[in-house]
Amino acid sequence: MKPELTLHQRTLTLTRFPVRKNETLQAWDAADEYLINHCHTMDLDPQRPVLILNDNFGALSCWFANQAPVTTVTDSFITQQAITNNLSVNNLPTVTIIDCLADLPAEPQLVIIKQPKNNRLLSWQLQQLCHLLPQDCMVITAGKVKEIHSSTLKLFEKYLGETKTSLAVKKARLIFTSVNKSLTAPMPQPTSWTVPNHNLTMTNYANVFSSDSLDIGGRFLLDFIPSKSQYNDIIDLGCGNGVIGIKAARLNPHANITCVDESFMAVASCRENAQLNLPTTEKFNVIASNCLDNFDNQSADLVLCNPPFHQNNTITDHIAWQMFCDAQRILRQQGELIIIGNRQLKYHEKLSRIFAKVDTIGSNDKFVVLRAIK
Ligand code: SAM
């Protein structure tokens, strides 16, 4: 896969993050190209901010970085790393990278949105923009034709203003919205629900996995979290709102708990939930990371994981596989990895390749809970 994007006599070298040898996937898509082509003839003010929401691996941030002060908003630690790497490889000026909960810059001249997968995040962002934007600001969103439904366009109309779409090019489409300040409404509160048998109350920002109710996999895993005096360091890998790590902290109050997620909204929710559900958070840490990058070898006794099993619309186990390999690396000898997975994904077979012993400790029609020992 060639990493060069060439448009309008300009070439950018763009890679995904993490950078992998023999990568087969491009770091940009047709929607990025459509946006760049559309904005090419615009006369941008070099002083006034351009705001970019949900860039994927940095194609948009890199393209506009030398044209105006760019603020790029992302919920993803992985995107943040990709943008930073790609700016540096292309010798471009730095851009301001903020997460979705941070304040947006005032008076942007142009707002560019890559349509997020999650409509709750989209609605949240449109409401945030309606508060901020001046009436003359242009908002252009790009997405895949098959993901722009009439219900999606209704969200733009409801939360931001009058909306029109472009023709499709290479299966991508643009959405143009003019800001209608009279639609400004109070920002929605995070969702909150309880887990009855476990006495937990979980609060979730818009982009957190399963933010309307507890995921059925997560619920099943809650019953298999062990309590042992010899655990010093426990990790909840892919923590989401922190339900697993918080339960582990309750069962093992003597242990250090580290919750890890690549979504900043998940990290924020997990921190707030720990405050809400634990008597103390002294031994409870939450960090944004790509899997367990930069964690020391042999530094944990137990890793708990409800891994992601799809990326976009594709069922995949490549992130889960990275999580298992990272867990194997950072566990101490005899350390345990406990995971939940859909039966069809055959995690038992995969874990057996890298762990000394793998047992099934729970199962129902849909899921298995596996314990792998190093
Ligand atoms: N533990 C929570 C639960 O059981 O409800 C959430 C589990 S959800 C299936 C998987 C989580 O992994 C999501 O919160 C997602 O943001 C996170 N994730 C995906 N890719 C990741 C990565 N590369 N590094 C860290 N976390 C990741």
Pairing of strands 172-178, 163-165: antiparallel
131 and 30 within one domain: yes
Q: What is the mean pLDDT of residues 109-120?
A: 96
Task: Give the range among 145-159, 168-182, 266-280, 303-317 with minimum mean pLDDT.
Answer: 303-317
Any ligand 1 atom below 6 A from CB of 261: yes
Distance of CA 70 to the CA centre of its chain: 21
229 and 177 within one domain: no
Any ligand 1 atom below 6 A from CB of 320: no
Q: Is the peptide bond before 18 cis (omega within 30 degrees of 0)?
A: yes
pLDDT tens for 60-104 read 999 999 999 999 999 999 999 999 999 999 999 999 999 999 999
Confidence of residue 312 (pLDDT cuts 50, 70, 90): low
pLDDT tens for 218-266 read 999 999 999 999 999 999 999 999 999 999 999 999 999 999 999 999 9
CA of 259 to the centre of ligand 1 (A): 10
The residue whose CA has the least distance to atom 1 of ligand 1 is 239
Any ligand 1 atom below 6 A from CB of 304: no
346 and 229 within one domain: yes
Q: Which domain holds residue 215?
A: 191-373
SS3 272: helix
* Of 183, 215, 246, the domain-final residue: 183
The residue whose CA has the least distance to atom 15 of ligand 1 is 238
17 and 80 within one domain: yes
Q: What is the pLDDT of residue 310?
A: 66
How many whole angstroms separate alpha carbon 128 and alpha carbon 345?
Answer: 39
Any ligand 1 atom below 6 A from CB of 260: yes
Q: What is the mean pLDDT of residues 108-117?
A: 96
* Of 150, 183, 216, the domain-final residue: 183
241 and 141 within one domain: no
Percentage of the chain lying above the pLDDT 90 cut: 90
Q: First-to-last CA distance in the chain?
A: 36
Distance of CA 129 to the CA centre of its chain: 20
Dihedral of the alpha carbons of 353, 356, 362, 367, in degrees to the nearest 10: -10
Which residues touch 361 (CB under 8 Å, ≥6 apart)? 224, 338, 369, 370, 371
Predicted TM-score (pTM) of this structure: 0.96
Q: % helix / strand / coil in the chain, to the nearest 5?
A: 30, 30, 40
pLDDT tens for 120-141 read 999 999 999 999 998 878 899 9
82 and 31 within one domain: yes
Ligand 1 pocket mutation, candidates 306, 315, 347, criterion most atoms within 8 A of CB: 306
Confidence of residue 212 (pLDDT cuts 50, 70, 90): confident
103 and 57 within one domain: yes
Residue type, position 52, single letter: I
134 and 33 within one domain: yes
Any ligand 1 atom below 6 A from CB of 323: no
The residue whose CA has the least distance to atom 7 of ligand 1 is 306
How many whole angstroms separate alpha carbon 131 and alpha carbon 124?
Answer: 11
355 and 222 within one domain: yes
How many whole angstroms separate alpha carbon 265 and alpha carbon 54?
Answer: 13
How many whole angstroms separate alpha carbon 125 and alpha carbon 349?
Answer: 41
How many whole angstroms separate alpha carbon 153 and alpha carbon 237?
Answer: 35
Pair 226, 251: CB distance under 8 Å: yes
Q: What is the pLDDT of residue 90?
A: 98
The residue whose CA has the least distance to atom 14 of ligand 1 is 240
155 and 58 within one domain: yes
Nearest to 302 by CA among 188, 221, 210: 221
The residue whose CA has the least distance to atom 8 of ligand 1 is 308
CA of 241 to the centre of ligand 1 (A): 9
Distance of CA 155 to the CA centre of its chain: 21
129 and 168 within one domain: yes
Any ligand 1 atom below 6 A from CB of 210: yes
Provide the domain count of the chain: 2
Any ligand 1 atom below 6 A from CB of 32: no
323 and 224 within one domain: yes
* Of 183, 216, 241, the domain-final residue: 183
Indicate which CATH number applies to the domain containing 310.
Answer: 3.40.50.150
Q: What is the mean pLDDT of residues 267-291?
A: 98
Q: What is the pLDDT of residue 1?
A: 80
Dihedral of the alpha carbons of 142, 143, 145, 149, in degrees to the nearest 10: -100
